[in-house]
C-alpha cells in the first residue's frame, strides 16, 4: 500500500495524513508471537500467518523432492518484473495429477476461506528461466512451450527437470495471488492437448492490437483470468510488437482496458434516479458499493485496520482513495491495481443494470487479511456484491446512516476521504428544483 499523500482530495477538509483513527487498547508488543505461539491468536487474526505458511510448505515440498518433477499445471504461468526487460518466466505446476484448474481460477474462489485460497496457491511450484520480453516474437523452445500453456483450455500434465530442488518461499504480491516454492528449469514437457479456441484465434491474429484482442475475448465470454494469462505470455497483440508482460502489470492492464471499454457503453445509458446500496463481507473485508443518481463518476476508498498486511502499525487506521469524473482519469491511481479491478466489476454492474450512475466503493480491511491475495479479491467479491439485491435508499441521510452502521471506522473518516460523497452531499441536482408536472 503506498504512503498517504499530504493533500486532501477535498478543499477545506483535513489532509489525508490526518484521516487516521487510533484504535483504543492496541499496543505494540514485539514479544506477542513468541508468547502466543499460535495457541491463543493474541494478534486478533483468525488464523496464525506463521503457522499457515508452515503448513503450506510442509504439504508441498515433500511432494516435490529433488530435481525431477511430475504433476499438472492448472494451466498457469508467472512472469516476474525484476530486471525488466530481462525477466523471469515459467510455468506453475501442481504436484498433483489430474484437474487442477481451480488452483489458478480466481473466478471460482468466492466463498472460499483464506486458508483454502492460500492452499491452492502455495501448492503450486514455479519453474523459472530468464528471457528478454522481446523474445515473445521469436521464442526458444522452452518459452514457446510456456506460451502454448498460456492458451491451454484445461489442466496440462507436465514433466520438468529443475537445476536444483525448489526452495520453500511464498512469493507475495498485492496484485497477483501468492504461489509456493520455485527453481530454475533445465527442461520441461507440457502435454497441451486442447487450447482455448478463442485465445488461439486471437493469438493467430497478428493484425489485432492488444486492446482489440482483449476486449474481443472478453466480449466472447473468455474469463478475465485467462485473458490476463495470455496477455502476460506475449501471445496477444500486433505482430512485431508482442512482448512478455509481467504478471502484476498484465492483471492491471487487462482490468483497465476492459473497464474503459465497458464505460464507453455505460456513458450512453440513462441515468440512475435513486440511491442503491450493495453490502458484502468476505475474507475479513467489509464492502459497500454505493450507486448514486446522475452521471457516471467513480471512487474507490480502502481503509486498512491496524495489524493488517499493509498497515502493520499498532494503533491507526489508514484510509486512501482515488476517484475519477465522467471522462475518466489520465494518471495511474495511487491505490494501484485494486482501483482498476473494482472499476471493472462496477462497470459490469452498471451495464447489467442498464444505467449509468455515480459509484463509490468502500472497503474496510480487518486483521483477517493475513497475506496479500491479489486484486482478484477485489474484482470477484465486488462482482458477487453486485449480484446481491440492492437496498434502495430515499435520502443521503439514510445512506450515511448505513455507512456508519456497517463499518467499525467512524463515518466522519469515510466522509473526509471521499470526494464523490462530498459532492453528492453538498450539490443539488437540477431536477431537485423542478416542480412535479400535474397529470
- Residue 214 above 70 pLDDT? yes
pTM: 0.85
In a 13 Å sphere around the CA of 251, the CA atoms on its Cβ side amount to: 27
Cα dist. 62→68, 165, 168, 313 in Å? 13, 11, 11, 36
Cα dist. 267→256, 292, 356, 372 in Å? 16, 14, 6, 34
Percent of the chain with pLDDT over 70: 79
Q: Which long-range contacts (CB under 8 A, 24 or more apart) does 60-63 make?
A: 60/95, 60/122, 60/123, 60/125, 60/168, 60/180, 60/181, 61/166, 61/168, 61/181, 63/95, 63/96
What is d(CA 50, CA 408) in angstroms, rounded to the nearest whole number?
Answer: 27
- Residue 376 above 80 pLDDT? yes
> What's the length of the chain?
439
Q: In a 3-state reduction of DSSP, which class is residue 82?
A: coil
Query: What's the mean per-residue pLDDT of the chain?
Result: 84
What is d(CA 69, CA 72) in angstroms, rounded to the nearest whole number?
Answer: 10
Segment 114-143 mean pLDDT: 90
What are the start-end ranges of the E strands in 325-437? 358-365, 391-393
179 CB-near residues (< 8 Å, 6+ apart): 78, 92, 121, 122, 124, 126, 170, 171
Cα dist. 239→13, 61, 148, 242, 302 in Å? 51, 41, 17, 6, 40
**CA 4 and chain centroid, separation:** 20
Q: Which residue has the higher pLDDT, 291 or 68?
A: 291
The confidence score (pLDDT) of residue 61 equals: 52
| Under 8 Å between Cβ of 126 and 78 | yes
The confidence score (pLDDT) of residue 16 equals: 32
Number of H-type helices and E-type strands within the chain: 13, 13
Cα distance from N-terminal residue to C-terminal residue, the chain? 55
Poorest-pLDDT segment among 14-28, 195-209, 350-364: 14-28
In a 13 Å sphere around the CA of 287, the CA atoms on its Cβ side amount to: 25
Q: Which of 409, 366, 364 is nearest to 45 (CA)?
A: 366
Segments in 274-363 forming alpha helices (H): 337-353
The confidence score (pLDDT) of residue 124 equals: 87
- Residue 39 above 70 pLDDT? no
158 CB-near residues (< 8 Å, 6+ apart): 69, 70, 71, 72, 73, 91, 93, 188, 189, 190, 191
Segment 26-55 mean pLDDT: 54
12 CB-near residues (< 8 Å, 6+ apart): none
- Residue 328 above 80 pLDDT? yes
- Residue 33 above 70 pLDDT? no
pLDDT tens for 251-278 read 999 999 999 999 999 999 999 999 999 9
Backbone dihedral angles phi then psi of residue 223, each to the nearest 5 degrees = -60, 145
pLDDT tens for 136-180 read 999 999 999 999 999 999 999 999 999 988 876 555 455 555 567
The confidence score (pLDDT) of residue 170 equals: 56
Segment 17-22 mean pLDDT: 38
Amino acid at each position: 500500500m503506498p504512503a498517504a499523500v499530504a493533500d486532501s482530495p477535498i478543499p477545506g477538509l483535513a489532509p489525508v495524513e490526518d484521516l487516521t483513527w487510533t484504535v483504543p487498547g492496541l499496543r505494540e508488543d514485539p514479544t506477542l508471537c513468541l508468547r502466543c505461539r499460535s495457541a491463543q491468536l493474541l494478534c486478533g487474526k483468525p488464523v496464525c500467518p506463521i503457522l499457515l505458511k508452515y503448513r503450506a510448505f510442509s504439504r508441498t515440498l515433500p511432494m516435490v523432492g529433488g530435481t525431477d518433477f511430475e504433476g499438472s499445471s492448472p494451466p498457469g504461468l508467472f512472469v516476474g518484473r525484476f530486471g525488466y526487460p530481462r525477466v523471469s518466466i515459467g510455468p506453475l505446476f501442481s504436484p498433483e495429477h489430474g484437474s487442477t484448474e481451480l488452483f489458478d481460477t480466481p473466478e471460482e474462489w468466492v466463498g472460499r476461506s483464506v486458508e483454502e485460497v492460500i492452499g491452492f496457491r502455495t501448492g503450486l511450484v514455479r519453474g523459472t528461466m530468464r528471457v528478454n520480453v522481446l523474445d515473445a516474437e521469436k521464442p526458444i523452445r522452452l518459452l514457446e512451450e510456456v506460451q502454448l500453456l498460456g492458451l491451454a483450455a484445461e489442466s496440462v500434465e507436465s514433466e520438468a527437470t529443475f537445476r536444483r530442488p525448489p526452495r520453500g518461499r511464498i512469493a507475495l504480491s498485492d496484485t497477483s495471488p501468492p504461489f509456493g516454492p520455485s527453481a530454475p528449469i533445465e527442461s520441461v514437457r507440457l502435454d497441451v492437448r486442447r487450447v482455448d479456441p478463442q485465445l488461439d484465434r486471437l493469438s493467430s491474429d497478428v493484425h489485432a492490437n492488444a486492446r482489440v484482442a482483449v476486449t474481443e475475448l472478453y466480449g466472447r465470454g473468455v474469463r478475465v483470468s485467462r485473458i490476463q494469462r495470455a496477455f502476460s505470455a506475449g501471445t496477444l497483440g500486433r505482430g512485431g510488437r508482442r512482448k512478455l508482460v509481467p504478471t502484476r502489470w498484465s492483471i492491471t492492464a487487462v482490468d483497465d482496458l476492459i473497464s474503459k471499454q465497458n464505460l464507453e457503453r455505460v456513458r450512453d445509458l440513462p441515468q440512475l434516479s435513486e440511491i442503491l446500496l450493495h453490502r458484502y463481507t468476505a475474507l475479513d473485508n467489509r464492502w459497500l458499493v454505493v450507486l448514486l443518481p446522475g452521471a457516471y463518476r467513480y471512487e474507490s476508498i480502502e481503509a486498512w485496520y491496524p495489524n493488517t498486511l499493509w498497515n502493520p502499525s499498532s494503533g491507526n487506521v489508514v484510509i486512501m482513495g482515488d476517484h475519477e469524473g465522467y471522462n475518466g482519469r489520465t494518471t495511474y491511481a495511487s491505490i494501484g491495481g485494486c482501483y482498476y479491478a473494482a472499476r471493472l466489476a462496477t462497470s459490469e454492474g452498471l451495464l447489467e443494470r442498464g444505467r449509468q450512475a455515480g459509484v463509490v466503493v468502500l472497503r474496510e480491511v480487518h486483521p483477517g487479511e493475513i497475506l496479500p491475495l491479489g486484486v482478484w479479491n477485489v474484482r470477484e467479491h465486488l462482482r458477487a456484491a453486485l449480484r446481491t439485491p440492492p437496498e434502495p435508499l430515499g435520502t443521503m441521510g439514510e445512506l450515511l446512516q448505513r455507512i456508519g452502521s456497517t463499518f467499525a471506522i467512524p463515518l466522519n473518516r469515510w466522509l473526509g476521504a471521499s470526494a464523490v460523497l462530498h459532492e453528492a452531499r453538498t450539490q443539488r441536482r437540477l431536477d431537485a428544483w423542478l416542480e412535479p408536472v400535474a397529470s
